Amino acid sequence: MLNVIDHPLIRHKLTVMRDKNTGTKDFRENLDEIGGLMVYEITRDLPTKEIEIETPICKTKADTLAAPIVVAPILRAGLGMVSGILSIVPTAKVAHIGMYRDEETLEPHPYFEKYPHHMEESTVIIVDPMLATGGSSAAAIDMVKKQGATNIKLVCLVGAPEGVKLIEELHPDVDIYLAALDDHLNEKGYIVPGLGDAGDRIFGTK
Ligand code: PRP
Ligand code: URA
């Protein structure tokens, strides 16, 4: 299911990021901050369990998270959302999924993967700022499913309808979270209006 997280702070920060005159430092900082704001909403349905603890006053029952959380950035651009998410969920483990999109064919090419233990019992949050054709995210979801993950969320900043459609077709069990659903893809597979090449803007590359 698609969830567009609509919040004035997220809209404001995304506007800064979309502006072509925004430099690397501000782009990176705003991405990180949006990651932190989005994760509060994304984790709303995490399972909890009751445990017994002792406050300074008495014994009581209280809730704690029931399952481990794994944040899985798609390299490179997904890295830009990790520290914002970890600032809210500091106990999360971090997987890494290395993937690049061929500029001509727009096909995803995985080149690296590394996971923590117990993927099968974890809530896995795949993060990538851009959901364009959806090829990279769909491939990343396949990869974490091969590791046994069944509770998967896909968190992107900006999505195109084409990418949302692909994920909904291939992985209907995965909830998609966006800060904005944009209009369409251009002939080079870039999101319109979008924000350009997220990886290059985060890392200052060309
Ligand atoms: C970008 C982006 C996504 C992918 C989206 O990464 O960060 O991973 O493209 O496109 P898709 O939905 O059509 O697959 P890119 O391959 O440019 O790598 P980078 O993060 O290293 O810049
Ligand atoms: N990857 C990006 O970084 N930006 C787009 O608009 C599409 C894919």
The closest alpha carbon to 152, from 130, 108, 121, 128, belongs to: 121
Query: Using a 6 Å CB cutoff, which residues line ligand 2?
Result: 77, 130, 132, 190-191, 194, 197-199
Instruction: Give the mean pLDDT of 30-41.
Output: 95
Cβ count near 99 (within 10 Å): 22
Report the separation in Å between the CA atom of 146 and the middle of ligand 2, taken as the mean of its atom positions. Answer: 26
- Compute the distance between CA of residue 21 and CA of residue 24 in angstroms, rounded to an integer: 10
pLDDT tens string 84-118: 999 999 999 999 999 999 999 999 999 999 999 99
Helix (H, G, I), strand (E, B) or coil at 91: coil
Report the separation in Å between the CA atom of 138 and the middle of ligand 2, taken as the mean of its atom positions. Answer: 15
Query: Using a 6 Å CB cutoff, which residues line ligand 1?
Result: 74, 76-77, 100-101, 106, 108, 128-137, 163, 189, 198-199
- Compute the distance between CA of residue 47 and CA of residue 202 in angstroms, rounded to an integer: 33
Q: Do the annotations mark residue 81 as ligand-binding?
A: no
| Domains of the chain listed by start with CATH number | 2-203 (3.40.50.2020)
With cut-offs at 50, 70 and 90, classify the pLDDT of residue 191: very high
With cut-offs at 50, 70 and 90, classify the pLDDT of residue 160: very high
For residue 200, give the ligand nearest its CA.
Answer: 1
User: Could you tell me which residues are beta bridge partners of residue 72?
Assistant: 126
What average pLDDT is seen over the chain?
97
